[in-house]
Structure 1
Amino acid sequence: MASTTRKNDDGGVEFVHESDGQVTARDIETGVASFGETRAEALRMLADALDAYYGEGESVETETLATEFGLDEDEVGSEGRPPWDA
């Protein structure tokens, strides 16, 4: 069971402590969320996610990403976008 701390309807960050020990940090204004093993890590990851949300992150070429993570499109498949990204 997850528990939530510091919910603030006026903005800010909401932390959800998951049963597996992970901490989710969610920006209340945008709904953007990320997670980490600690609150500090979750906040760092949330900052990166918010940069991407506002278009301030660095763009990544598909080829570069595939090379960096050793992905092969034939292995991954080409069914299109995942259902949550439709």
Structure 2
Amino acid sequence: MSTDASNTGSTADDPASRNISLSWNEDAENWSAVDEDLGVASVGETREEALEMLDEAVALHTGETGEPIDSWEDEKDVLEDLGLDPAEVEEARESDTELPDFLR
């Protein structure tokens, strides 16, 4: 099932005219919400949760919330706060062959 709330003539700067797709993923048993204009996506167990998570992802993407990560030291701190191994992330970037386990 997919719902497309598209609006022709949309611009990414006007939230009222954004193209948002909402779809159910049978395999993962969750909802996906995608801001088609920005290329930002999120998932949730319910439609409402997927849309709420998308709102947060869009705000982070557009800089409306959150703080920029300007250095590797800042990035390492954030990854460690999230319980992720910075060395694994760095290794994956350098090898560019396979995603780290936490991204699969």
Q: Which residue identity does 1:24 align to in structure 2?
A: S
**What do you get for the CA RMSD once the two structures are aligned?**
2.6
Q: Distance in 2 between matches of 1:16 and 1:48?
A: 18
1:42 Cα offset (Å): 0.4
Aligned to 2:45: 37
Over the matched positions of the two proteins, sequence identity in percent amounts to: 30
**Please, which runs of 5 or more residues in structure 1 have no aligned partner?**
none
More helix by share: 2
Corresponding position of 1:78: 91
Which residue of 6, 20, 26 maps to 1:8?
A: 6
**Deviation string for 1:29-81 (max 9, x for gaps)?**
32322111111110111011111221223125313323213333334442427
Greater RCO (CA < 8 Å, at least 6 residues apart): 1
1:64 to 77, 86, 99: 77
**Alignment coverage as a number of residue pairs:** 81
Structure 2 counterpart of 1:54: 62
* Residue pair 1:9, 1:28 contacting (<8 A) in 2 also: no
